[in-house]
Amino acid sequence: MQSVDRAVTVLETLAQRGDAGVSEIAVVLDVHKSTAFRLLGALESRGLVEQTADRGKYRLGFGLVRLAGAVTSRLDITQQGRPVCERLAEEFGETVNIAVLQEHYAVNLCQVRGPGAVGAHNWVGRLTPPYATSSGKVLLAHLSRRERAAVLESARLKPLTAHTLTSVAGLERDLDQVRGRGYAVTLEELEVGLHAMAAPVRSHSGEVIAALSASGPAYRFTEARIHELAPVLVEGAAEISSRMGHAG
């Protein structure tokens, strides 16, 4: 346990100081220089510390990025995203959700209703067809073509309204647009009178892991207003991505 404690102290010292030599580390640990040297050598062999250009000095190594990535991948996206959802719901006056892909459904994990939200829709936990929702389109757009084909085969493109995209070719064209402009739009494709838009949320590795969406009544959340507000939504999704460890 003493060795573990010393190793952590070394890492914390380097985090605070930026770099340090063997003598400095020995003083901090209150050990002989040879002990500090061996400890730094062990950490260096694992990539947790590295020697600076002038050698004799050590700094934190990139092996820590690997460890940090393992932590950020487990962060609760609803916890990280809720403050952004609350801010956007207030700003837009509409309902804001975070959704993920589960098998062949887009599943809503988090919802915040804006002050002007109409109706009593609770989307949390609701399984929605990905081809007919803005969140689903974002999630589909960033799958590989093979993964997407498997999801769509299971989902089956059923017409939910007169505006639902029911051909794979038509949906693929729409998904090309999603990738190109950075957000998805649905206009009465899931329900008559309901419009929505969504933007991708990324993990520390850059993988799209969720979608941030805003939805509202068609008479107020018009197509023009959606495109006007889209940059704000995309920025909000980027903020959640940053909270999830994505460097941008």
Q: Please indicate, yes or no, whether residues 182 and 64 belong to a single structural domain of this protein.
A: no
Q: Over the stretch 106-159, which tens digit does the pLDDT of each residue have?
A: 988 889 988 877 665 777 878 889 999 999 999 999 999 999 999 888 888 899
Higher pLDDT: 123 or 220? It is: 220
pLDDT band at 3 (very low <50, low <70, confident <90, very high): confident
If you average pLDDT over every residue of the chain, what do you get? Answer: 88
Residues 125, 177, single domain; the answer is yes
Nearest to 112 by CA among 83, 76, 139: 83
Write out pLDDT tens, residues 197-211.
999 999 888 899 999
CA dist list (Å): 31 to 10, 36, 101: 12, 7, 53
- pLDDT tens, 144-174? 999 999 988 888 889 999 999 999 999 999 9
> What's the confidence (pLDDT) of residue 61?
83
Q: Is the pLDDT of residue 214 over 60?
A: yes
Question: What's the rounded Cα separation, in Å, for the pair 213 and 197?
Answer: 5
Bridge partners (DSSP) of residue 185 are: 197
Mapped onto helix, strand or coil, the DSSP state of residue 51 is strand
Query: Is 52 within 8 Å of 58 (Cβ atoms)?
Result: yes
Average pLDDT rounded to a whole number, residues 189-199: 95
Q: Are residues 103 and 4 part of one domain?
A: no
Q: Which tokens is 162 given?
A: 């007169």
Distance CA 227, CA 33 (A): 63
The answer to whether residues 210 and 93 belong to one domain is yes
Report the C-alpha gap between 244 and 247 in whole angstroms: 9
Residue-wise pLDDT tens digits, 72-106: 544 588 888 999 999 999 999 999 999 998 888 89
pLDDT, average across residues 25-35:
88
**How many angstroms separate the CA atoms of 100 and 212, rounded?**
9
Domain that residue 193 falls in: 72-244
Do 202 and 148 reside in the same domain of the chain? Answer: yes
Q: Do residues 76 and 66 share a domain? A: no
Choice between 248 and 21, residue whose per-residue pLDDT is larger: 21
Check if the beta carbon of residue 207 is closer than 8 Å to that of residue 34: no
What integer pLDDT is reported at residue 1 of this predicted model?
A: 67
Q: Which residues contact 223 (CB under 8 A, 6 or more apart)?
A: 185, 187, 195
User: What CATH number corresponds to the domain at position 6?
Assistant: 1.10.10.10
Number of Cα atoms under 13 Å in the Cβ half of residue 129 = 20
Say whether pTM exceeds 0.85: no
